[in-house]
Amino acid sequence: MTEPDFLRACRGEAVDHVPVWFMRQAGRSLPEYRALRGNGSILEAIADPAIAAEVTMQPVRRYGVDAAILFSDIVVPYHAIGFGVDVVPGRGPVIAEPFRAPRDLTRLRDLQLEDVRHVTDTIDRVIDELSATNTPLIGFAGAPFTVASYLVEGAPTREFAVIKTLMHAQPALFDELMDRLVAITIAFLRVQVAHGARALQLFDSWAGSLTRDEYRRFALPATEKVLDGVADLNVPTILFGVGTGELLDLMASANSTVVGIDWHVDLDEGRRRVKGKPVQGNLDPARCLGGEALALSATRDVLARAGETPGYVFNLGHGVLPATDPAVLEAVVRLVHEEGKAGVR
């Protein structure tokens, strides 16, 4: 079968149409998701392969996107090894006993296949369904710095005071923490590819909280190690962060195949900053809340800024917002497929 447009675009090759998928395309914005999930814990849903596979497939069927992304969460491997992670509705990941001292390193044991058997079972189910249409599945993980932010802070934060104190006051301990997270992340990504994921995204959601010097010293080396640790798998890799406009050139040096660009930077400027590397992005998710006409106008602006150079995947500049009307996203997908020009032969 011909390689899908999504994978070709990630590699900077010519495509039949501009590919599109959405971060958080599965989830709270879909009525079929809410009907299936109810009010249960997201970690409970992820632990049930039948539910997780169905949720993964729902947006593929509804939107006609060019890739599925595994229904999971960046804290799944850390929940699986017993670090004491929960995902609290309306708040996010919460750690019962945050990382504070060298003794906590022992709590970050190596990830074993049996720890994430529910994830691999989900992937197996999804691949069975996707194979009929040759639609690729994207596996993913949290980048070490973003995961460390949760484990050290103990909960979502806007200040990042605890982790920045650890970084600067105890850099050797921070480096040991990052090395443990690198090993777990590589293992988690590799098992996803072993079961059929054909691309990988590394979410460094909180990298934008760092200065350039901090990113270069404390985040980039671990990110590079993760990407090097999956390079032999020969699948495209996407590195994405929020508020990272001033870091894009550094992110582009980390050897991912693609750099994701959030909505804070115009796409043409983002492409300039990554110096020709394939990019993904970057419609502001809020532009999808005002109805179809406003969303399509904003989509056309993004496509115009993408230009005609190969190496472009349309996406939002962050995840789908819960209040988004699915019909609006359906219209965005149609427009991108019909009017996108980047790399179209």
Please say if 150 is a catalytic residue: yes
Nearest to 247 by CA among 221, 270, 227: 270
Q: Is residue 18 included in any domain, yes or no?
A: no
Classify burial at 71, counting beta carbons within 10 Å of its beta carbon; exposed 0-12, middle 13-18, buried 19 or more. Answer: buried
Q: What's 203's domain CATH number? A: 3.20.20.210
* Mean pLDDT over each residue of the chain, to the nearest integer: 97
Q: Is residue 319 included in any domain, yes or no?
A: no
Q: What does the block give as tokens for 175?
A: 């480096």
Q: Is residue 9 included in any domain, yes or no?
A: no
Per residue in 7-43, pLDDT (tens digit) is 999 999 999 999 999 999 998 899 999 999 877 789 9
- Write out the residue range of the structural domain in which residue 231 sits: 27-286
Please say if 37 is a catalytic residue: yes
Please say if 272 is a catalytic residue: no
Q: Is residue 57 included in any domain, yes or no?
A: yes
Q: Is residue 139 included in any domain, yes or no?
A: yes
Instruction: Please tell me which residue in 66, 73, 262, 284 is annotated as part of the active site.
Output: 73
Please say if 73 is a catalytic residue: yes
Q: Is residue 323 included in any domain, yes or no?
A: no
Per residue in 222-239, pLDDT (tens digit) is 999 999 999 999 999 999
Instruction: Please tell me which residue in 28, 217, 300, 305 is annotated as part of the active site.
Output: 28
Q: How far apart are CA 178 and CA 322, in angstroms?
A: 32
Q: Is residue 247 included in any domain, yes or no?
A: yes
Instruction: Please tell me which residue in 150, 190, 204, 284 is annotated as part of the active site.
Output: 150
Total domains in the fold of the chain: 1
Instruction: Please tell me which residue in 37, 62, 180, 190 is annotated as part of the active site.
Output: 37
Q: How far apart are CA 21 and CA 258, in angstroms?
A: 14
Chunked into runs of 10 residues, the chain (345 residues) has average pLDDT values of 93 98 94 86 94 97 98 97 92 94 98 98 98 97 98 95 98 98 98 98 97 98 98 98 97 97 97 97 97 98 98 98 97 98 97
Please say if 24 is a catalytic residue: yes
Per residue in 128-155, pLDDT (tens digit) is 999 999 999 999 999 999 999 999 999 9
Q: Is residue 320 included in any domain, yes or no?
A: no
